[in-house]
Amino acid sequence: MNKILKLKNLFSKYNIEGYLIPKNDSYFNEFINPGEDRLQFISDFTGSAGTAIILKKQNLLFVDGRYITQAKKESAKNFKIIDIAKSSLLDFLNHSKLRIGFDPSLTKYSWHQQLKNKQNFIEVPENLIDKIWKKSNTKIQNKAFILEDIYSGENYQSKLKQVKKILNISNNESFFISASENICWLLNIRGKDSAYTPVLNSQALLTQKKLYVFCKIKKISDTIRQEYKKNVEFKEESLLFKILAKNKNKLITIDRSASVKIINYLNEEKLNIKFKPDPIFQLKTQKNKIEIQNTKIAHIYDGVAVAKFIIWLKKQKKIKELNEISAQNKLEKFRKDNSSYLFPSFPTISGFGKNAAIIHYRASKQSNLKFRSTGIYLIDSGGQYKEGTTDITRTISFGKQSLGVKNIYTKVLKGHLAVKNFNLTKKTTGRQIDMAARKYLNINNLDYAHGTGHGVGYFLNVHESPPSISKYSRDSFISGQIISNEPGFYSPGLFGIRIENLIHVEENKKRLYFQDLTLVPYEKNLINIKLLNRKEIKSINHYHKIVFELLKSFMKQEELSIFAEQCSPL
């Protein structure tokens, strides 16, 4: 029987007329493991963000602009694809009179509170996808490990003290931490519960005297227990609710980003709760001097790998023998040549020609395009190093491109430079910077359907919030933040262009400014120098000079001449 039909056959048992399937797992991880990807199972959609609603007579898939083309390709056979910029999931639910079932463990309380018709949003205690899906065991079982002070720049005791001071926790109070990455940052612990993020799936309860961490206890070594025994007690994750129930005489403060299931339990047990933002979200966005210093090292490692990869591509005499998958595998090999490299920070986007126009494309056996002697190749990739997290996109040209394509690349580059050189103040918002990034495309009624920048964690989530640069961002910027700078343009069915560097916020004499972290040359063969002003040319030449000086010693003799030309002045 068809899997969608199997799901619909369960509706009558739970008295519902539809069912909501989000992308996330119960820890709200950025990247989930295959055995938790219920959205892909039901819809065949492989993107990293989206939500489906299965109704009795219709199936809907809500995605943002990054995934419209991809969703239509993968899921349009059984789903109506809806762009959330035109009709959001909340808008649909707030206007729907249907009884829609949902899993409270997969739904954030903050999002649930925005629903106007909560009586029509029905909690289903067991996940209905799990009832029809025979999963294979794909869980990652690696043990957690300690991130030493030489990498973290601050010991966990200092971080605990800082968080307690901000929260002002009394003897009769505790604070519930629902975000795994926040616990990892707080304790300088990392894990491997995600294929791309070094996170230990966990939740925690912070009291004045101790931090109780709930996780798969077999992932905690004796070494970690001994190291943290004075301040931290690790518990099996199944004991969470039992221990929460013991806090009936205490006030539990909690961030609204916790799951509906957690909040419901606290209310059912009639515990005294108060909502308060988790300060760790803001604390971890401001990297300390050691973290920034290490991140610069990570970007030298990463820059060498990507620069060598591009040189290797340019040297290929039989370019038509390459394809998207073999190319991305070669880049991975270059990264693995460095012993500090651990694993990718997200699934690599490797798209040639028309596939580069799919913003978050992922090459597969079914879509794996061969390279041609003339065309554009977009590769967006990143690495996890103990020294930091990287994320870079380069658009690479093979053969001669039309003036029109060069002009678009140059306008994207002008927007990229406008972000890097933005006159930053403490009152600057992400929206203001975003407008500057789009300016040169917008003049010709061109645009791109994604944000211009996202925050980046330190050996953690490659997408971290805050801060952000987008049409809707009100985020301001502080010294120590790391953020991406990635304007682009996409012509469906033809080509895609994106240029992405990571930048960080520096402060000097009370003045804020962005500094590049990424160290890889731009594609000079796609630049129309006539569209650049003197300041932009000077900025590109200065960047290329830095890239060459920092990376030249890593190049072999046969690579150096090509690298020198790529970094030569315009």
Q: List Cα–Cα distances, 412 to 99, 215, 419, in angstroms.
A: 45, 44, 11
DSSP symbol at 458: S
pLDDT computed for residue 134 by the predictor: 85
Residue 379, classed as helix, strand or coil, is strand
| Residue in the structure block whose two tokens are 């106007």 | 116
The number of beta carbons lying within 10 Å of the beta carbon of residue 125 is 9
Phi, psi of 321 (to 5 degrees): -85, -10
Question: CB of 27 within 8 A of CB of 36?
Answer: no
Question: CB of 213 within 8 A of CB of 180?
Answer: no
pLDDT computed for residue 57 by the predictor: 92
pLDDT computed for residue 137 by the predictor: 62
Here the tokens at position 455 are 């925050």
Q: Taken in order 426, 431, 434, 438, is the CA torsion positive or negative?
A: negative
pLDDT tens track for 105-142: 999 999 999 998 888 899 999 999 999 998 766 555 68
- Domain boundaries of the chain, sorted by first residue: 3-132, 145-283, 289-566
> Cα separation of 54 and 60, whole Å?
6
Residue 251, classed as helix, strand or coil, is strand
> Cα separation of 19 and 55, whole Å?
7
Q: Which fold has domain 289-566?
A: Creatine Amidinohydrolase (3.90.230)
| Residue in the structure block whose two tokens are 């002008």 | 414
Does the domain made of 3-132 have the CATH classification 1.10.760.10?
A: no
Here the tokens at position 461 are 């989530």
Here the tokens at position 498 are 């994106």
Indicate left, alpha or beta for 46 from its phi (over 0: left) and psi (-120 to 50: alpha).
alpha
In single-letter form, the type of residue at position 455 comes to G
Q: Taken in order 176, 178, 184, 185, is the CA torsion positive or negative?
A: negative
Do 289-566 and 3-132 have the same topology in CATH? no
The number of beta carbons lying within 10 Å of the beta carbon of residue 322 is 19
Q: List Cα–Cα distances, 555 to 309, 551, 558, 565, in angstroms.
A: 11, 7, 8, 13
Q: CA angle 324-326-328, nearest 5°?
A: 70
List, edge to edge, every strand of the sheet that includes 375-381: 349-352, 375-381, 392-398
Here the tokens at position 436 are 């500057």
One-letter-per-residue 3-state SS of 337-373? CCCCEEEECCCCEEEEHHHHHCCCCCCCCCCCCECCC
Class of the CATH domain delimited by 145-283: alpha beta
> Cα separation of 494 and 508, whole Å?
44
**Residues of the chain where predicted confidence (pLDDT) is lower than 70:** 1, 136-141
CA-based nearest residue to 549, from 560, 535, 536, 534 = 560
Q: Taken in order 10, 11, 12, 16, is the CA torsion positive or negative?
A: positive
320 burial level (CB within 10 Å; 0-12, 13-18, 19+): exposed
